[in-house]
A and B are shown apart, each in its own frame.
Chain A
């Protein structure tokens, strides 16, 4: 292992360099751009043997990735916000064909008004495209999740998205434990599907009448349903090399907490500090950080919520006309009522640990009884 000081984007690019990626197809967009700039430099210096297709749009980035992946290559791309939205149609194609593409997404607000800052509506709007979704809270997460994602994508034949809050994660430089040769056995052997073969000429993605469409979708449902189980297996193997443990939900704090804070992405880092603040005031609390959002870790939530009195969910995103998206997902999946959703930090507004701790206290004291919007600094 070697310690390097990396932002989330640097960490992702460095991981891609070490993951024996055959093809990268990508298009620049803030705040993702430095990922593909780093990759271009690695290739220019001869440090990576990868074909970089410099496409004319994000829609084409995903289309080229699909063409490459179905012929058996290991493929990576990266995007953000408007770019991810433009890709939407092709995200369905990638998942539907079982193309094991890995994509990094820099979570950025969606226009209008124009904004380049952190907000998770872009990737959460892709919830139903059939992609596995991870959310990194720091550079180390981003780096490690790339290795895990390639293995998982190829194992279950399903694309994987690794999301990082724009700037807060993509550009915050912090020490990252990087691999040297010790990761080779874990990552080098590819398990990519070869769907096109001149000696066995078949058609991929052909027209299906209703009776044929349903079975294909059932296969797809089965694939993504196995992703959580396979993630545990792969994470165990990863732990042997990295000494780091990855689970769909990461927890911190008291197991017999009076209040649970749920957060995803950069909010989870902040919530970590809020737990410590509450501890100093004698309040037993716990953080649940969502690492895997799809497939949704329902059983894990169920386990974590046992005997919990109050839950507050911080969402740097919103489903307009409803609530914070992860709050809604959790409430819907578990059917629980003692849950308060806080929509906060849209378009990059800062969310502080003091604000989080104060909200937790107000929820405990019944001062906050329904979902709310935290505006932060006005």
Chain B
């Protein structure tokens, strides 16, 4: 496959250098094309897309309240369908706070109704727009302004993919910026399916995760190779692991990021154990439901 050449995302948007969320939007729109509308809830993209009069996304963008991404997108899609505009793709675009936390209820509602939208969570694993506070997507051991050392995050990250898959929706997938072909293919697949689709993107954040802005892709790749962010999809209930990791040492991933600098040894072990268990469950599911 080839990645479409056309750039829909406009240059000089307001993202920080090395922002994973900006790259994610760029690739997503390449796959979905111009007949797309995007609903953006309160998140970094509220800023990235520009102030009043600007729209760097390049497609019609509807800003909305933090917890409403999925349901506003559902209402928008219903409206377009009632007017016979069936060919327009509606993408709900939210961060991890808007997805894992405050928006989980309306996300569940839209998934249960199987509303015909593509829901994208660009997951930078904390409330980055408000200045790095922990969310339920923050991994064990990470330091944030509300989990300052030595009280680092002690609970595991919620399993968003499995939560959404439990709603019996047609398509759930994870993606990272390190594998752009896989990324684009997943968006194209989501576009081709009717009903509720979720794409969960790991979105490295240089100021929030504390790493140099040139390392976004490297960190995305290490997330997959160490097994901390599994690349897989659940299509009509069938599991497919897209990239089987060789389980590189987790330290390679953690040591690149300042947010793990003050991580106590027992938290490293807890995180490793969490990853091991998650892969155990995922492997069984992939074998059983394939």
The chain A residue with its CB closest to the CB of B63 is: A205
A interface residues, how many (CB within 8 angstroms): 42
Verify if A320 is at the interface (C-beta below 8 Å from B).
no
Verify if B223 is at the interface (C-beta below 8 Å from A).
no
With known contacts A56-B109, A60-B109, A64-B75, A198–B62 Cβ distance under 8 A:
no
Q: Which of B47, B72, B78, B106 has the most CB of A within 10 A?
A: B78
Among listed A37-45, A69-77, A369-377, interface-contacting one: A69-77
Cβ of A208 and Cβ of B52 under 8 Å apart? yes
Q: What separation, in Å, do the CA atoms of A56 and B107 have in the docked complex? A: 10
Among listed B31-39, B131-139, B179-187, B266-274, interface-contacting one: B31-39
Among listed B53-61, B208-216, B257-265, B277-285, interface-contacting one: B53-61
CB contact list, B61-109 vs A, under 8 A: 61-65, 67-68, 71-83, 88, 105-106, 108-109
Cβ of A67 and Cβ of B55 under 8 Å apart? no
Cβ of B51 and Cβ of A201 under 8 Å apart? no
Cβ of A89 and Cβ of B109 under 8 Å apart? no
The chain B residue with its CB closest to the CB of A61 is: B71
Cβ of A67 and Cβ of B109 under 8 Å apart? no
Q: What separation, in Å, do the CA atoms of A23 and B77 have in the docked complex? A: 11
The chain B residue with its CB closest to the CB of A49 is: B82
Cβ of A206 and Cβ of B113 under 8 Å apart? no
Q: What separation, in Å, do the CA atoms of A90 and B69 have in the docked complex? A: 12
Cβ of A198 and Cβ of B63 under 8 Å apart? no
Verify if B252 is at the interface (C-beta below 8 Å from A).
no
Verify if B154 is at the interface (C-beta below 8 Å from A).
no
Cβ of B71 and Cβ of A69 under 8 Å apart? no
Cβ of B63 and Cβ of A56 under 8 Å apart? no
CB contact list, A39-55 vs B, under 8 A: 51, 53-55
- Residues from chain A with Cβ under 8 Å of B61 in the complex: 201-204, 206
With known contacts A60-B109, A70-B76, A206–B63 Cβ distance under 8 A:
yes
- Residues from chain A with Cβ under 8 Å of B80 in the complex: 71
Q: What separation, in Å, do the CA atoms of A93 and B75 have in the docked complex? A: 14
Verify if B112 is at the interface (C-beta below 8 Å from A).
yes
Q: What separation, in Å, do the CA atoms of A75 and B79 have in the docked complex? A: 9
Cβ of A212 and Cβ of B51 under 8 Å apart? yes
Q: What separation, in Å, do the CA atoms of A60 and B107 have in the docked complex? A: 10
* Cross-chain contact of B79 among A72, A206, A212 (Cβ < 8 A): A72
- Residues from chain A with Cβ under 8 Å of B203 in the complex: none
Verify if A218 is at the interface (C-beta below 8 Å from B).
no
Q: What separation, in Å, do the CA atoms of A202 and B105 have in the docked complex? A: 28
Cβ of B63 and Cβ of A204 under 8 Å apart? yes
* Cross-chain contact of A66 among B64, B81, B108, B109 (Cβ < 8 A): B64
Verify if B149 is at the interface (C-beta below 8 Å from A).
no
- Residues from chain A with Cβ under 8 Å of B147 in the complex: none
Q: Is the interface of A mostly helix, strand, loop or mixed?
A: mixed
* Cross-chain contact of A65 among B75, B108, B109 (Cβ < 8 A): B75
With known contacts A56-B108, A206-B51, A90–B65 Cβ distance under 8 A:
yes
Cβ of B64 and Cβ of A198 under 8 Å apart? no
Cβ of B82 and Cβ of A51 under 8 Å apart? yes
Verify if A22 is at the interface (C-beta below 8 Å from B).
yes
Q: What separation, in Å, do the CA atoms of A69 and B62 have in the docked complex? A: 12
Q: Closest CB-CB distance, B22 to chain A, in whole Å?
A: 15
Verify if B50 is at the interface (C-beta below 8 Å from A).
yes
Proximity string of chain A (71-102) to chain B, C-beta cutoff 8 Å, 1 when within and 0 when not:
11101000000000000011001000000000
Q: What separation, in Å, do the CA atoms of A206 and B47 have in the docked complex? A: 8
Cβ of B46 and Cβ of A207 under 8 Å apart? yes
Q: Closest CB-CB distance, A79 to chain B, in whole Å?
A: 15
- Residues from chain B with Cβ under 8 Å of A272 in the complex: none
Cβ of A212 and Cβ of B75 under 8 Å apart? no
Verify if A334 is at the interface (C-beta below 8 Å from B).
no
- Residues from chain A with Cβ under 8 Å of B53 in the complex: 206, 212
- Residues from chain A with Cβ under 8 Å of B77 in the complex: 67
Cβ of B112 and Cβ of A71 under 8 Å apart? no
The chain B residue with its CB closest to the CB of A57 is: B105
The chain B residue with its CB closest to the CB of A212 is: B52
* Cross-chain contact of B74 among A67, A75, A93 (Cβ < 8 A): A67
Cβ of A56 and Cβ of B62 under 8 Å apart? no
Q: Closest CB-CB distance, B254 to chain A, in whole Å?
A: 34
Q: What separation, in Å, do the CA atoms of A209 and B83 have in the docked complex? A: 35
* Cross-chain contact of A71 among B51, B76, B109 (Cβ < 8 A): B76
Q: What separation, in Å, do the CA atoms of A51 and B39 have in the docked complex? A: 20
Cβ of B82 and Cβ of A198 under 8 Å apart? no
- Residues from chain A with Cβ under 8 Å of B112 in the complex: 56
Verify if B124 is at the interface (C-beta below 8 Å from A).
no
- Residues from chain B with Cβ under 8 Å of A206 in the complex: 46, 49-55, 61, 63
Give 8 CB contacts A-B under 8 Å.
Answer: A53-B113, A60-B68, A68-B78, A68-B82, A70-B62, A72-B79, A201-B57, A206-B49
- For the complex with contacts A53-B74, A198-B34, A202-B61, 16 further pairs of A-B residues with Cβ separation under 8 Å are A23-B75, A51-B78, A60-B109, A64-B71, A64-B75, A64-B78, A65-B75, A67-B62, A68-B75, A68-B76, A70-B76, A197-B60, A201-B61, A203-B49, A203-B50, A206-B51
| Interface pairs A-B: 8 shortest CB-CB | A67-B75, A64-B75, A56-B109, A205-B63, A203-B55, A63-B68, A68-B79, A67-B76
